[in-house]
Amino acid sequence: MTNRTRMAAAAAAALFMIVPLRAAAETDFTFYGRLNLSVDVGSQGLAGVVCNNPNLCTPGSRAQGNLRWIPDVASNLSRFGIRGHHDLLDGVQAVFQLEAEVAVAATPGVKGNGNNDTINPGNNAINGAIASRNSFVGIATPLGALKIGKSDAPYKLSTADFDFLADTPGDYNGIVGNTGGDNRAEFDTRLSHSVWYESPNVYGFRLGAQWSPGQERFADNEGFPIGETVCNGGNSGPCEDGSWGTVYSFAATWENFGFKGVAAYELHKRVNRTGDAGATTPAGVSTVGVADEWAWKFGAKYTLAATGTTVAGLFEDLHRDDVGTFNERQRSGFYFSALQKVTPNDDVMAAWAHANSTPGDPTIGPISNSADMVTGGYRHWFDRKTTVYLAYARMMNGDGAHYALGPSGHGVTWDCKDGSGPATAGVAPGIGLIGNGTQCFTGTNIQAFSAGMTYDF
Q: Which pLDDT tens digits describe the chain residue by residue (457 residues)?
A: 554 445 444 444 443 333 344 444 588 999 999 999 999 999 999 998 999 898 988 888 899 888 889 999 999 999 999 999 999 999 999 999 999 999 898 887 765 544 444 444 455 566 657 888 999 999 999 999 999 999 999 999 999 999 999 999 999 999 999 998 878 899 999 999 999 999 999 999 999 999 999 999 999 999 999 999 889 987 777 899 999 999 999 999 999 999 999 999 999 999 999 999 999 999 999 999 999 999 999 999 999 999 999 999 999 999 999 988 999 999 999 999 999 999 999 999 999 999 999 999 999 999 999 999 999 999 999 999 999 999 999 999 999 999 999 998 888 999 998 888 755 444 444 444 444 557 899 999 999 999 999 999 9
pLDDT at 235: 76
Residue type for position 82:
I
Residues in CB range of 53: below 8 A, 6 or more apart: 363, 364, 400, 440, 442
3-class SS string, the chain = CCHHHHHHHHHHHHHHHHHHHHHHHHEEEEEEEEEEEEEEEEECCCCCCECCCCCCCCCCCECCCCCCCEEEEEECCCEEEEEEEEEEECCEEEEEEEEEECCCCCCCCECCCCCCCCCCCCCCCECCCCCCCCEEEEEEECCEEEEEEEEECHHHHHCHHHCCCCCCCCCHHHCCCCCCCCCCCCCCCEEEEEEEEECCCECCEEEEEEEECCCCCCCCCCCCCCCCCCCCCCCCCCCCCCECCCEEEEEEEEEECCEEEEEEEEEEEEEECHHHCCCEECCEECCCCEEEEEEEEEEEEEEECCCCEEEEEEEEEEEECCCHHHCCCCEEEEEEEEEEEEECCEEEEEEEEEECCCCCCCCCCCCCCCEEEEEEEEEEECCCCEEEEEEEEEEEECCCCCCCECCCCCCCCECCECCCCCECCCCCCCCCCECCCCCECCCCEEEEEEEEEEEEC
Dihedral (C-alpha) 185, 189, 191, 197: value to the nearest 10 degrees?
140
Rg (CA), the chain: 25
pLDDT at residue 182, rounded to an integer = 79
Position 29, amino acid: F
CA distance 296 to 332: 10
Say if residues 393 and 168 touch (Cβ distance below 8 Å). Answer: yes
Superfamily of domain 44-456: Porin (2.40.160.10)
- C-alpha angle 66-68-72 in degrees, rounded to nearest 5: 85
Q: How far apart are CA 361 and CA 41, in angstroms?
A: 31
What is the pTM (predicted TM-score) of this model? Answer: 0.88
Q: Which of 188, 173, 172, 167 is nearest to 35 (CA)?
A: 167
Answer for the pair 183, 113: CB distance below 8 angstroms, yes or no: yes
Residues in contact with 345: Cβ distance below 8 Å, sequence separation at least 6, in sequence order: 380, 381, 382
Contact 181, 216 (CB under 8 A): no
